[in-house]
Structure 1
C-alpha cells in the first residue's frame, strides 16, 4: 500500500517563509464568517450582561476574535460606554472586550432573580 504524506514530504525543501504563508493560507481557508445578530438576540444579550453586572455573577461570553469565536468566562468588572467596551475579570487577567464583538452571553448559575 502506498502511503502519501501529503505536503509533509515537500516542507523540507521549502523556505520557512513559504511554510508560514501556506499555514496562513490554510487558516484563512478554514476561517468562520461572523454573523449579524437579530434584534431579539441583541436584547437578550443586553439583559444577560445587565444582570451579570448588577448581581456580580459569573458569565461566559462568546466573542468574535481573529476570524473565530472564542469563549471567555469571568465576572464583569465594568462597562465603559465611552469606549464601547466591557472589562471582564477572568481568573488570570483583565480582558477588554469591544461590545460589538460579543455574540452570546450565558450566566453560569440559573439566571437573574
Structure 2
C-alpha cells in the first residue's frame, strides 16, 4: 500500500490479470443498454436480415439476451417466421437466434480482390 497525497494506491498489489479484467468489466458496464426500437429501425433491421438471407451475405448481429449484448458474425441459413427465429452459420457451429433478441444487423464487406 502506497500513500500518495492522501490517496491509497493498490495498483502495485494487483496482478496484471486483475487489471485486465477490471478494464473489461469497466468497458462492458459503460456500454449503453439499448432502448426499444422504433418502427423505422425495425423495418431497416428486417430489410438487412432479409437481404443477408437472400444473397447469403456475411452479417454481424448484435443480440440482447438478459441485458447482455453479444455479437455474432456468420451467414443466415434459415429464417422461420412461424417460430420467429433464424439460424446463423458461424465458423464451427449453427446458432439459432430468436428474432426478438436481434438488436442490430450489419452486413460485412464481402469483396474479393
Please indicate, yes or no, whether the TM-score normalized by the shorter chain is above 0.5: yes
Report the aligned-residue RMSD: 2.5
Looking at structure 2, the residues matched to 50 and 89 of structure 1 have their Cα atoms a distance apart, in angstroms, of 15
> What SS class does the counterpart of residue 37 from structure 2 fall into?
coil
Q: TM-score, normalised by structure 2?
A: 0.68
Residue 55 of structure 1 corresponds to: 55
In the TM superposition, structure 1's runs of 4+ consecutive aligned residues that sit over 6 Å from their partners are none
> What SS class does the counterpart of residue 103 from structure 1 fall into?
strand
Structure 1 runs not aligned, ≥5 long: 6-29
Q: TM-score, normalised by structure 1?
A: 0.68
Structure 2 runs not aligned, ≥5 long: 11-28
Looking at structure 1, the residues matched to 41 and 32 of structure 2 have their Cα atoms a distance apart, in angstroms, of 20
> What SS class does the counterpart of residue 72 from structure 1 fall into?
strand
Q: How many aligned residue pairs are there?
A: 90
Residue 35 (structure 1) aligned with residue 35 (structure 2):
yes
Residue 78 of structure 1 corresponds to: 78
Q: Which has the higher strand share?
A: 2
Residue 64 of structure 1 corresponds to: 64
Looking at structure 1, the residues matched to 32 and 44 of structure 2 have their Cα atoms a distance apart, in angstroms, of 23
